[in-house]
Amino acid sequence: MNILVVDDEELIRSVIKEYLNLDGFNVYEAEDGEKAINVVKNNQIDLVIMDIMMPKMDGYTACKEIKKEHDIPFIMLSARSEEYDKLIGFDLGIDDYVTKPFSPKELVARVKAVIKRNGKENTLSLGGIKIDDLAHEVYVDDKLITLTPKEYDLLKYLMENKNIALSRENLLSNIWGYDFYGDDRTVDTHIKTLRARLGKYRDVIKTVRGMGYKIEDKK
């Protein structure tokens, strides 16, 4: 998940970036509102943390410009705590407001809360397996593994329907599409290679005799 941190103070950007990186977020930086707009134009940004008082273009103006084209959640930072400032921000559709000085850990918690409220939490996990759907990446014990597009779609579908027995016909229609002309062996072949890529977690994919497969969460 990509987060843009906008502040004219490099130290503040660095501290925020360090704490966000520790929680697995990818961080972009900008030192003023104008540069923030360019970053959003050229990258897939999922959330913006933006200071209000900055040179060239203040945070409110930049937020207004970005929201004309992109529906992105915002957390505003400010050294001021006047209620008027907060009202302006919320009128612009800002999701949260943090007054400086702030705890980096609290800011990360607020980031997670905003992401959850906006439905941008796109991760699936089971044991040591984690899917980051925004990045289209799969991790096993925090190590990135390489899957083919169909293996990725198959794993994601199984994890979205964990503990549910899925027929081969169901998997064929949902992963390959109704117009696919292959047969059940296509599913079996992909399950075999997917299990191999999951290593020690291969056994979470269970064979349902005479039907198909399910991914099992033992919790």
pLDDT tens string 156-201: 989 888 888 999 988 988 888 755 666 778 899 999 999 999 999 9
Inform me whether the pLDDT recorded for 101 exceeds 80.
yes
Domain with CATH 3.40.50.2300 in the chain: 2-117
**Closest residue by Cα to residue 187 from 199, 200, 175:** 175
Domain with CATH 1.10.10.10 in the chain: 123-215
What are the φ and ψ backbone dihedral angles of 55, each rounded to 5 degrees?
Answer: -70, 165
Q: Give residue 10's pLDDT.
A: 95
CA 178 – CA 169 distance, rounded (Å): 10
Inform me whether the pLDDT recorded for 219 exceeds 60.
no
**Closest residue by Cα to residue 191 from 147, 161, 160:** 147
pLDDT in tens, 109-167: 999 888 878 765 567 888 899 998 777 899 999 899 999 999 999 999 898 888 889 99
Tokens of 27: 């961080």
Q: Give residue 123's pLDDT.
A: 78
| 2-117 fold | Rossmann fold (3.40.50)
CATH 1.10.10.10: does it fit domain 123-215?
Answer: yes
Which positions ≥6 away from 163 have C-beta within 8 Å?
A: 214, 215, 216, 217
Specify whether the CB–CB gap between 120 and 46 falls below 8 A.
yes
pLDDT in tens, 46-89: 899 999 888 889 898 999 999 988 889 999 998 766 555 666 66
